A = this chain, B = another copy of it.
Amino acid sequence: MKKLFFTEIRVIYGDTDAMGVAYHANYLRWFEVGRTELLRETGYAYSEIEKYPVWLPVTQAHVEYKKPARYDDVVLVGSYVAELGFASMLINYEITNKESGELLVTGYTRHGITDSEMRPIKLKRVYPELYEMFSAISADSEK
Against B, the Cβ 8 Å flags (1 = close, 0 = not) of A1-42 are 000000000101110111111011110110011001000000
B71, A47: Cβ atoms closer than 8 Å:
yes
User: Which residue in B25, B32, B33 is a CB contact (below 8 Å) of A29?
Assistant: B25
A33 to B18, CA, bound (A): 15
Interface of A, helix, strand, loop or mixed by DSSP = mixed
- Contacts from A to B (Cβ < 8 Å): 10, 12-14, 16-21, 23-26, 28-29, 32-33, 36, 45-47, 55, 57-65, 70-72
Which B residues are CB-close (under 8 A) to A12?
29, 32-33, 36
User: Can you show 21 pairs from A to B with CB atoms below 8 A apart?
Assistant: A12-B32, A12-B33, A12-B36, A13-B17, A13-B19, A13-B23, A13-B32, A14-B17, A18-B18, A18-B70, A18-B71, A19-B57, A24-B28, A24-B61, A25-B25, A25-B28, A36-B72, A59-B64, A61-B61, A61-B63, A61-B65
Nearest-CB distance from A62 to chain B (Å)?
5
Complex Cα distance, B22 from A58, in Å, reads: 12
Chain B's closest residue to A73 (CB) is B47
Given the complex, which residues of B lie within 8 Å of A64, measured CB to CB? Answer: 59-60
